Amino acid sequence: MAAKLAVLPLVTAVAREACEKLAACVSSTALVRYRTNDYLVPTTYVFQDMVVKEFIDEAVILCGGEEIARHPRFQRHSIFCGTGNGLPAMTGPVA
C-alpha cells in the first residue's frame, strides 16, 4: 500500500488536456480531415502527418509538436478557412 501511495503523486502531477487527439494527414488541397470536418492549414504542410487536438471550443493542428493552425469548432460536414492562415474567414455546410 505504501508503494502505491508513493507513486500516486507522480501520476497526478502529469499535465492533462481536455481534448481528443487524432493523427491525420494533410491532403493535396491543404485540408486536414477530422471526423467529418475539414480544416485548412498552410500549403507548406501538404502531405505531412499532423496531430489534431479537438477541444470543446476549438481545434488545434500540430506538426512535429508545433502549432500550425487553430480554428473554432463548428457543426459537422463543414469546411473552415480561418483568418489565422492569411485567408478570409469562410464557414458553412458543404453543399
Which tens digits make up the pLDDT trace of 28-80?
Answer: 999 998 887 888 899 999 999 999 999 988 999 999 989 999 988 766 666 66
pLDDT tens, 36-45?
Answer: 788 889 999 9
Is the torsion defined by CA of 18, 32, 24, 84 positive or negative? Answer: negative
Segments making up each domain of the chain, as ranges? 17-85
Alpha helices in the chain (DSSP H): 2-12
Q: What is the pLDDT of residue 21?
A: 92
pTM greater than 0.75 = no
